[in-house]
Chains A and B, each alone.
Chain A
């Protein structure tokens, strides 16, 4: 069974610090990885996706992928109170558009 694991948190960081969110996945055939942000009572919204090993940067966000270790992470630089939300990690299976989601990590940025 394909699984995506995340630490449920809450993860608390002070404003301006770097928040580090981690995710592991069980399916070695997984090809693509996604980070979604979900505010309380709202729907998930895509932050970033990553397909290749290494780092991918987009503004204050950096996604990191290590397929050998089956590990994905999201770094948020200069964290802001508006970043406080639950972050969902998701992975596709080989040749599939089907996403398996982790249960999410709740991030709290303290002003």
Chain B
């Protein structure tokens, strides 16, 4: 079984540019989570979806961040416009409701905003 797939793995962009991160959850998983990890703040939940519906976006830092899940196999996290303080590793994770709360993480996207 393929795990959670994220793209791109690395992204370098300039301040003010739009950044789109992509995630394909594990097939059959009905929860999808977006996290951001920095040395200072650790691993923070940004938003999560259940059956493609956003449930809690209270972790989204500001309006520059948006996330969508148009279908069960695809989600995007968009930052527009990007700022240097957005530099971090962004992880997507998925879990299966009836399997408990265990979350499986993708390899992450390393974002550097210059």
CA distance A49 to B101 in the complex (A): 9
Interface residues of B in 60-114 (CB under 8 A from A): 91, 95, 97, 100-108
Contact A98-B56, Cβ < 8 Å, known A43-B91, A44-B43: yes
Which residue of the partner chain B has the closest CB to A104? B42
Distance in angstroms from A41 CB to nearest chain B CB is: 9
Q: Which of A46, A88, A103 contacts B102 (CB 8 A)?
A: A46
Q: Is the CB of A46 within 8 A of B45?
A: no
Across the interface, which residues of A come within 8 angstroms of B107, CB to CB?
42-43
Chain B contributes a number of interface residues (CB within 8 A of A) equal to 22
CA distance A49 to B105 in the complex (A): 15
Main secondary structure of the interface of B (DSSP, over half): strand
Interface residues of A in 47-93 (CB under 8 A from B): 49, 88, 92
Across the interface, which residues of A come within 8 angstroms of B106, CB to CB?
43
Task: Name 14 A/B residue pairs within 8 A (Cβ), A-sorted.
Answer: A42-B107, A43-B106, A44-B105, A46-B102, A46-B103, A49-B100, A49-B102, A97-B31, A97-B50, A97-B95, A97-B101, A99-B101, A103-B41, A103-B42
Chain A interface residues (CB < 8 Å from chain B): 32, 34, 42-46, 49, 88, 92, 97-104
A34-B101, A46-B104 known; 10 new pairs, CB 8 Å cut-off, are A43-B106, A43-B107, A46-B102, A88-B43, A92-B101, A97-B50, A97-B95, A97-B97, A98-B56, A103-B42
Chain B interface residues (CB < 8 Å from chain A): 31, 33, 41-45, 48, 50, 56, 91, 95, 97, 100-108
